Structure formats: C-alpha cells, structure tokens
Amino acid sequence: METDIKQLRHKKLRTWIEESAALCKPDKIYVCDGSKEEYDRLMQLMVKNGMAIPLKKKANSFLFRSDPSDVARVEDRTYISTTNQADAGPTNNWVTPEELKKTMRGLYEGCMKGRTMYVIPFSMGPIGSPIAKIGIQLTDSPYVVCNMDIMTRVGTKVLDQLGEHGEFIPCLHSIGAPLAEGQQDIPWPCAPIEKKYISHFPEENLIWSYGSGYGGNALLGKKCLALRIASAMAQREGWMAEHMLILRLINPKGKQYHIAAAFPSACGKTNLAMLQPTVPGWKAECIGDDISWMKVGTDGRLYAINPESGFFGVAPGTSYATNPMAMETLKENSIFTNCALTDDGDVWWEGMTPEPPIHAIDWKWRDWTPGSKETVAHANARFTAPAKQCPVISPDWEKPEGVPIDVFIFGGRRPSVVPLVYQAYNWDHGVFLGATAASETTAANIGAVGDLRRDPFAMKPFCGYNMGDYFSHWFAMGDKLGDKAPKLFYVNWFRKSGDGSWLWPGYGENSRVLKWICQRIEGEVSARETPIGYVPNEGDLDLAGMNIPTENVKQLLHVDKDAWKTEADGIAKYFTEFGDHFPKRLSIQLEEMKKRLAG
C-alpha cells in the first residue's frame, strides 16, 4: 500500500515535504517503505529506461555508469553555512545561510518537474539505538533510493520510531535535471559542476544537496549527515562522529581489541576493516568501514557504533588477493558504479584479477581492450554492498550500545618520511598526530590526485565546524575519558622505495602491525623512544614467515631527523591557519617534538 503523505503522522515532516514539493514541483511524491518489492520495482524501472544494466554473473546486481562530470565528491562545491564564518572555520567553504539558500532556492525551483520525489525515512545506526539518528531524504533519483536502501536502514519502521514528534534531520536532494513534457530521460541526469551545491546548515541540522547523483554528494546519510552534521552535533553534545573504520581483533588467547582507524578517502579503511590476519592465531571481525559514532558509556569507556548498514567501497584494487572478504560481500545484491562490463555480463576493474579481460565495455560505454590508454573502470568506481553479506561481519556489529574502543589509529598515504607505525606518548601527543596527519589526495574527490595535503583526523572534507574547535573537542574527550581513553597510534602502509614500489606489502600483512599495537597496550613488546613517538625496533614486529627484505624493514622503521625538522616547519605553518580557535595544547606538542628533534 502506498503511503499518502497526508497520512504521515509527523506534522513537521508533512509540512516540510509539502513545502519542498511546492518548490521542486515533482510530478509525484512517493514515500519509501524499504521493502524488497520496492527495491526490485525501482531497479526494474531503471533497467527499463537504460540507467541500470543487470549483471548475468551476479544475482540481483546492477551496473550504473555516471555522467563523466559526476564521478566523485566535489569538495570545492561543498559548504558549511553558518551565520558567522568563524563557526565554519578555515578548512570549509562558507557562504551565509541567507545567501546560500537564496541561490539554492533558485536552483530547486521546478527542479523535479517530470520526476518523482521519493521520501526516504532512514536511520543512521540500529533503529532505536541510543546513539542512532533519524534522517529523511527527499530525492528525485531512484538510484539514490536503492543505494540508500543498502547503506542505511530505510522504511516504515523508521517512521514508526519517529512517531509524531521525534527528531529528524531533513536532507533535500535533487540531481538538478528536470524533464520537460515528452523529453527523453538519459542514463545519468545531473547538473553541470558549477551548479552543484552540497550544503550543510549545522545551526539547524539541515542538508541541501543539488546537482549530483554520486556517492557522498547524493547519499546524504553518509558524509553529509553522519559526518558533517553529526560532527557539529557531537561537539555540542559531548560525543564523537569520526571518519573511522571499526574493527575487532582477537588474539590467540581470545582477548578482543576494538580498533577505530581514521584514514582519508581511498586510503585503506575498507581494506583494514575486512582484514584477514596473516599472523597465526589472530582473528578479525568487521564492524564498520567508514564512519564511527562514539559515546562515553556508563563504565566511562568510549563505545562505538557503525551508523551505516552497507559498504560504498572503492572498486579498483579490490581483489581476492587484496580484500577477499569484500569480494565475497559483493557477490550478489550489489550496485556497481563506473565499473567496466565484461562480455560475459560481469563487472571488472583494474586490479580485480591478474589478467584483464580480452575485451570489455568501459565506464564511458566504449569498447576497451588491454593496453588501451585509459583505464577501463573509473579510479573512483564503487561497489555498494550490504554489510550483512560480509563473511567476517562481527556478530556484534548491530549492538545498539556499540563496542568499547581500545585503540585509535591515524594514517594516510605518505610515500616518504612517515614510518610504518608509531605510538603516541600520551593523549595530547596522539591528538597532535591526528591533527597533523597528511596524505596524498585521491580520486575520491574531483580534483588533483597525488598532492600531499594536511587532512587532520581524515576529517578535512567532513568536519561540520571550525577545525580548531574540533581539535579542542578531542582534548575535551580525552580529559573526560581519563585513564579509560583509547591509546593512539599512527600508521603508514604507503611508504615507497626509490623505484616507486611499495616498501610494505600491506593488506593482510597489516595484521603484523596491529599485533604490535595490541601487544604495546599489554606492555608485552618493546619500542624505542624517538622524537616522533614510540617506534618498534626491528625485532619487535612479528615478521615470521614473511619474505620482506631487511633493507625494507630498516627503511620502514627509520626516523630521519632532518626530514622531520622540515615536517615540523610545515606543521608550524599549517597551525597558523587556525588563529584564535587554535588550542594551545597543540602548540605545546609541536614545541616538544621540536625539542626532541634538536636533542
């Protein structure tokens, strides 16, 4: 039975839908119930109109190809709109709410003509969890509806939880491509780049997105709600919303460690989250691969939930050799975007198998053969797959109260300077490591790839308020947690040798680093004190059975004082950006590192 919006019990919700519809002027409004029947019906509609290609080799799975301009997040077009610019801070694009709303209302005017407005009630986090939040997304994209269905908990049960007066985060989305009467639709309608706006109004917990149908621009539960809006709420309310995977590691004695790790986009979260340890006796379970919401529990420890229910993972590089658990997860009931189509009706991407197919259709719908100049899949091609299909998903991944975090890890892509792993001396030093994290840019954002930039806590694109205040929030959380605070570490899987090859094999072998981390917590393994933190001695890492040249290990654990002095200068310069929102405790950490480097 279709829900008439007049039947919606929540008056504020009804009014907002009516007002949005009056502005966007869709032909029809449809309230999603989150059923399988609904998902199948929308998919069939998209197959019929040429948007989706059913895959012969994967049950209930479909390939989509985007417009070539709409392939990733658009940080340049992403706004944190607050009354005062200081509240958005130096790392965010800013326009006043008044001005931005005026511009966007102009764009929204009639933008859904010829289309259906879908109403998606969704929960970030298990429905009813004390940490969960409800959002309602309005969208004119059935592709978004199906993706949201996998990535979040959607449907009538969310409306029931909301009741008549419950709190929800309104998320208005349009691809920005109205259809005139009789106009033929195209496979991936969207607006040109200069008309795309991904806007956040944290003062009223509101999201307005226009012009893009892709990933974080359009699946508004993810980066927009669960990170930008949630981080601002978390700061106000004393909890944390972080760009972190959540992993449970179990040692041979059966002791569990919960690890949350923040790496920038396309820097290894999904892979680490589904790790298959190569160290004998150690096991891992996945809890989340991208976002972690954390609150202090009654026992004073920090508890984390994964607010999502699916994975929107980077396809290229994903293979049975690198991430077998992801490959098992995406075997069926999955959506593929900007991957290649093989002649036997499967998807393919660079790195999926050692040998490419002899022929394929590339992500731009063209014939492709090996040796061609361009890649067959886009570098930011993605799979959308249900978390429950992951063979190593933790039995506790939907626990409403979350899991207690023991370890925070920061990291990124650093071809030089930064060692494989090191431990912070204490909480304040760990916050310094997070705040000074830097990484090479990736195809997850539209823009240059491979440029080194500061990406504090992997939150540069996702912090919904002043980054200086965000640093202070980390200190405040540490003060609140006291001796129950997680221990902090930094890793770098991406160190390169002179010839450009990886010094460290990565993937499952990263378990050797995680083992050292857990043993550090227990005081079971040694390390040397260096100017940047505790670094393992060569003998401290379990490298048994691994055939890595000693020279590589030396380089991976080397701390080059001169290089770090240059790094310290870069950090000092970076810190000046934050003006009077900058916490003094970070400056103290920089001074202490400089002293250690001079000694």
For tokens 């990933």, name the residue.
215
Q: Give the residues lining the site for Mn ion (CB under 5 A).
A: 265, 290
Q: What distance separates the 2 farthest-apart alpha carbons in the chain?
A: 75
What six digits make up the tokens of 497? 């040798």
Q: What CA–CA distances, in Å, run from 82 to 141, 211, 216, 327? A: 28, 21, 21, 42
DSSP-derived secondary structure letter, 436: T
Q: Which long-range contacts (CB under 8 A, 24 or more apart) does 493-497 make?
A: 493/268, 493/411, 493/420, 494/267, 494/412, 494/413, 494/414, 494/415, 494/440, 495/414, 495/415, 495/416, 495/418, 495/419, 495/420, 495/555, 495/556, 496/415, 496/416, 497/552, 497/555
Closest to ligand SPV by CB, 290 vs 346, is: 290
In one-letter notation, the amino acid at residue 19 is: E
CB atoms within 10 A of CB 364: 15
> Which of the choices Mn ion, ligand SPV, ligand GTP, none does residue 468 contact, using the CB cut-off of 5 to 8 A by kind?
none
Instruction: Provide the mask over 506-525, with x wherever binding to ligand GTP is found by CB under 6 A and - wherever it is not.
Output: xx--x---------------
Q: How many CA atoms lie within 13 A of 267 on its CB side?
A: 34
CB atoms within 10 A of CB 58: 18
On whether the CB atoms of residues 445 and 460 are closer than 8 A, the answer is no
> Which of the choices ligand GTP, Mn ion, ligand SPV, none does residue 493 contact, using the CB cut-off of 5 to 8 A by kind?
ligand GTP
Interacting residues of 158 by C-beta distance below 8 A, sequence separation 6+:
34, 121, 122, 123, 127, 134
**Active-site pick, 190, 267, 339, 390:** 267
Closest to Mn ion by CB, 171 vs 541, is: 171
Closest to ligand SPV by CB, 213 vs 215, is: 215
Q: Which of 533, 536, 544 is nearest to 517 (CA)?
A: 536
Torsion-angle region of 473 (φ positive above 0: left; ψ -120 to 50: alpha; else: beta): alpha
Instruction: Identify the residue among 16, 239, 368, 493 touching ligand GTP (CB under 6 A).
Output: 493
Interacting residues of 467 by C-beta distance below 8 A, sequence separation 6+:
89, 90, 91, 92, 456, 459, 460, 578, 581
What six digits make up the tokens of 282? 């150690």
> Which of the choices ligand SPV, Mn ion, ligand GTP, none does residue 166 contact, using the CB cut-off of 5 to 8 A by kind?
none
Q: Which helix (H) or strand (E) holds 139?
A: strand 133-139
Q: Give the residues lining the site for ligand SPV (CB under 6 A).
A: 73, 215-216, 222-223, 265, 290, 312, 444
Closest to ligand SPV by CB, 140 vs 290, is: 290
Closest to ligand GTP by CB, 87 vs 289, is: 289
How wide is the angle at C-alpha 495 spanned by C-alphas 492 and 499, nearest 5°?
170
Instruction: Identify the residue among 66, 231, 271, 589 touching ligand GTP (CB under 6 A).
Output: 271
CB of 305 to ligand GTP, least distance (A): 18
Closest to ligand SPV by CB, 314 vs 341, is: 314
Tell me if 290 contacts ligand GTP by CB under 6 A: yes
What span, in angstroms and rounded, lies between the C-alpha atoms of 354 and 383?
A: 19
Instruction: Identify the residue among 267, 286, 294, 557 touching ligand GTP (CB under 6 A).
Output: 267
267 catalytically annotated: yes
Integer-rounded Cα Rg, in Å, for the chain is: 24
Instruction: Identify the residue among 141, 205, 270, 555 touching ligand GTP (CB under 6 A).
Output: 270
Instruction: Identify the residue among 322, 375, 416, 552 touching ligand GTP (CB under 6 A).
Output: 322
Select the span of 13-21, 106-114, 262-270, 576-584 touching ligand GTP (CB under 6 A).
262-270
Closest to Mn ion by CB, 290 vs 398, is: 290
Positions 217 through 256 that interact with ligand GTP (CB under 6 A): none
Torsion-angle region of 365 (φ positive above 0: left; ψ -120 to 50: alpha; else: beta): left
CB of 558 to ligand GTP, least distance (A): 19
Closest to ligand GTP by CB, 471 vs 507, is: 507
Closest to Mn ion by CB, 216 vs 536, is: 216
Tell me if 410 contacts ligand GTP by CB under 6 A: no
Instruction: Identify the residue among 42, 169, 294, 314 touching ligand GTP (CB under 6 A).
Output: 314
On whether the CB atoms of residues 453 and 468 are closer than 8 A, the answer is no
Tell me if 262 contacts ligand GTP by CB under 6 A: no
Cα torsion 287, 290, 293, 299: sign: positive
> Which of the choices ligand GTP, ligand SPV, Mn ion, none does residue 149 contact, using the CB cut-off of 5 to 8 A by kind?
none
In one-letter notation, the amino acid at residue 80 is: I
User: 421-452 burial, b for 16+ CB within 10 Å, e for fewer?
Assistant: bbbbbebbbbbbbbbbbbbbbbbbbbeeeeeb
User: 141-157 burial, b for 16+ CB within 10 Å, e for fewer?
Assistant: bbbbbbbbbbbbbbbee
Closest to ligand GTP by CB, 400 vs 415, is: 415
> Which of the choices Mn ion, ligand GTP, ligand SPV, none does residue 141 contact, using the CB cut-off of 5 to 8 A by kind?
none
Tell me if 147 contacts ligand GTP by CB under 6 A: no
Tell me if 437 contacts ligand GTP by CB under 6 A: no
> Which of the choices ligand SPV, ligand GTP, Mn ion, none does residue 301 contact, using the CB cut-off of 5 to 8 A by kind?
none
Tell me if 288 contacts ligand GTP by CB under 6 A: no
Instruction: Identify the residue among 24, 172, 249, 266 touching ligand GTP (CB under 6 A).
Output: 266
Tell me if 336 contacts ligand GTP by CB under 6 A: no
Residues touching ligand GTP, count (CB under 6 A)? 22
Interacting residues of 238 by C-beta distance below 8 A, sequence separation 6+:
296, 476, 477, 480
Instruction: Identify the residue among 58, 173, 196, 269 touching ligand GTP (CB under 6 A).
Output: 269
> Which of the choices ligand GTP, ligand SPV, Mn ion, none does residue 216 contact, using the CB cut-off of 5 to 8 A by kind?
ligand SPV
Select the span of 26-34, 145-153, 499-507, 548-556 touching ligand GTP (CB under 6 A).
499-507
Provide the binding-site residues for ligand GTP, judged by CB under 6 A.
Answer: 263, 265-271, 289-290, 313-314, 316-317, 322, 444, 493-494, 502, 506-507, 510
Catalytically active residues, by annotation: 267
